[in-house]
Amino acid sequence: MIREKLLIAAIICICLGACKSEKLAIAGSGWDDIAIIDKKTGIIEWRHALDAGDECNAIEVTPDGNVLFAYSKGAKLINRNHETVWDFKAAAGEEIHSASRLKDGSYMIGVCGEPARIVELDPAGKQIKEIKFRTLIFDVHNQFRQISRKNDGTYLIPLLEKQKILMLTSEGRNKGTAYVGSSAFSVKPLDDNYLLVSCGSASQFIKIDPANQQKQNVIVTNEIHGGVLRYVAEIFLYDNGNKLIANSNMFSNDKSQPLLIEINPDNQVVWSLPYNKEIKNITTVYSFHE
């Protein structure tokens, strides 16, 4: 009877996917590796060395387990055996700090340059679309980091030096800007039409209604209950409303603060990844289960 119950429990566990554990793909500007850690233990389970001079500010894991990442000189999809599936290279004078997988299985690459570009690739890495636009920021490195695309096709570009979000239609026409008031590292659309903006060295993140330029829920260091924010880079959004913050220490002499901070909708810390000498800092994070 006990054996039968254990067998049934195992079958239910497999069917529901409950046996899978949460993993985090991580990388950071100034760190020469990208990695996957087990969230529960914080142990690095997989890592991939970057080439000298590479800078990774975007990482994701695809449903089939491949790893997508930007490396400043390009964006690449590799498998867990470190074999390249495709490699999209930046042209001379360009930098790439944004790479993401879209809902239809294609990929979106943000290319800093003059002009800047948004490039979409099919699942095999072949270019299928290109949008060119001007940022009016002539230091390519200070143009933008993580861009995103709304369900209606609107592109959202967080302009670092201009401290605002540039919005483009799916055809590349200018839809206006939303003023942030501080450097913007990452922007993600929310279900209520607000935008969630990571404000980098301002040590905060905010919600902006681009329709009327209203700001809401400004979160600063002393409003996080149980942690201190440093450079607020990417924020991963959980379905339950929690936020997983890449809390980079790259501009701070204080390395004692957590590298990742997860907060609930009441801004209370429910989990954090303490400083780990194997991990220099984290600017991009992606949660998945396997």
pLDDT in tens, 233-281: 999 999 999 999 999 988 877 778 899 999 999 999 999 999 888 998 9
Which domain, by its residues, includes 259? 21-289
Q: Is residue 82 one of the residues assigned to a domain?
A: yes
Q: Is residue 74 one of the residues assigned to a domain?
A: yes
Q: Whole-model pTM?
A: 0.91
Q: Is residue 138 one of the residues assigned to a domain?
A: yes
Number of domains observed in the structure of the chain:
1
Locate tokens 């194997």: which residue? 278
Is the four-CA dihedral 225, 260, 240, 191 of positive or negative sign? positive
Q: Is residue 11 one of the residues assigned to a domain?
A: no
Q: What's the CATH number where 53 sits?
A: 2.120.10.30
Residue 51: burial class (beta carbons within 10 Å; 0-12, 13-18, 19+)? exposed
Given pLDDT bands bounded at 50, 70 and 90, which one contains residue 14? very low
CA dihedral 59, 61, 66, 72 (to 10 degrees): -10
Q: Which of 64, 63, 70, 62 is nearest to 34 (CA)?
A: 70
Could you report the per-residue pLDDT of 66-112, keeping only the tens digit for each?
999 999 999 999 999 999 999 999 999 999 999 999 999 999 999 99
Q: Is residue 146 one of the residues assigned to a domain?
A: yes
Could you report the per-residue pLDDT of 168-197, keeping only the tens digit for each?
999 999 999 999 989 999 999 998 889 999
Round to whole Å and give the CA distance between 215 and 105. Answer: 33
End-to-end CA distance of the chain: 30
Q: Is residue 14 one of the residues assigned to a domain?
A: no
Could you report the per-residue pLDDT of 129-175, keeping only the tens digit for each?
999 999 999 999 999 999 999 999 999 999 999 999 999 999 999 99
Q: Is residue 77 one of the residues assigned to a domain?
A: yes
Q: In this model, does residue 16 exceed pLDDT 50?
A: no
Round to whole Å and give the CA distance between 118 and 109. Answer: 6
Q: Is residue 27 one of the residues assigned to a domain?
A: yes
